[in-house]
Amino acid sequence: MESRKVQTVGNGTYTVSLPKDWAESQGVASGDTVTLHDHIDGVLTVQTGNGGDGDPPVARIESADPEVIERALRAAYAAGAREVTLERDEPLTPDQRRVVERVARNRIGMSVAAESETATTVQIMLDSTEVSVSQSLRQLAFTVRSIHGDAVEALATPPDSSPIGSRDKQVDRLASMIDRSVSRGMADLGEVDALGTTRPELFESWTAMRELCRFRDAAADIGNAAAALDDPPSAARLAACRDFGRTVREVVSDGVSVALGDEGADVARSAVGELRRARDDIDALDRELDEAGAGAAELRRVARALRRTAECGGDVAEIGLRRAVRCRETIRDRDPGRMNE
């Protein structure tokens, strides 16, 4: 780090010279244009065309392995590529074609644009000015809570298969778009401006997205365990599982609201308190099932999956608290009148 003096030119404009070594390393010369980004924390950033303002990346895939193609397409989407070209000596095989179609179908804005004897071009047409990371996160939270609610309710009437259904793919589509937006925002400050957010907010949204996906995975385990039950649990245990589920879903909802700035720190703090009580109750049920014999194996699996969703809910609430601290909110203890409830 070095300090430089602010000077003025004839028309009263303030100027600061760029370090010569930095300018040369970035290929910046007299007459070139750079982009200035001012941030609400008082930081002014200088970005060259090499920092992301040029053409979006174009990826090339020459592998014939369907698994490599799938992973490369997913990686290119997340990295912010606008175009992916699959080059080969012969047309796509049915397996390769199914992989391309499946990945494109499960990514928002991705589609096969052109195909020839030697190449297939996949394009990702997403306009950042029309993408709302916060709205995508809200929709993601709603979807995983819906999955969780149906998984818990499936305990009452054990289904033949997991009740998750096609919503699992919707989670992947939303999570992938958030991942892509954050990745592009980290590489290009102009992308952050287009998204109408800040880098800390983007990172918090990305972290919350990851926790919501973990929440979805644990909820799916509840649904799978419900499908494996021969008979529903007793009325008391079913009621307990429903109560736990409601509390955990409310914690997730509150945590996301705070992380997005819709609610304040008190909501996150209250959610953490509710979660602590629910977690203790889940642990008590788990210990009870440990003494219930081999017939309670699937219910133990349900209880432990509920515990994992509770942990994910707590992590989402913590992300909300992180945002509250960053925004200089005061984190208070619970209302003294409720301490003994």
Most confident of 12-26, 110-124, 142-156: 142-156
State the first-to-last Cα distance of the chain, in angstroms, to the nearest integer: 53
Q: Which pLDDT value is given to residue 60?
A: 86
Give Cα 136 to chain centroid, integer Å: 9
DSSP 293-340: -GGGHHHHHHHHHHHHHHHHHHHHHHHHHHHHHHTT---PPPPGGGTT
Query: What's the pLDDT tens digit per position in 100-110?
Result: 889 998 899 89
Query: What's the pLDDT tens digit per position in 200-225?
Result: 888 899 999 999 999 999 999 998 88
Arch. (CATH architecture) of 129-338:
Up-down Bundle (1.20)
Q: Which pLDDT value is given to residue 290?
A: 67
**Is the CATH code 3.30.110 the one for domain 58-124?**
yes
Nearest to 208 by CA among 263, 140, 151: 140
Predicted TM-score (pTM) of this structure:
0.79
Domain limits, the chain: 16-51, 58-124, 129-338
DSSP-derived pairing of the beta strands 83-87 and 58-61: parallel
Query: What's the pLDDT tens digit per position in 165-184?
Result: 778 889 999 999 999 988 88
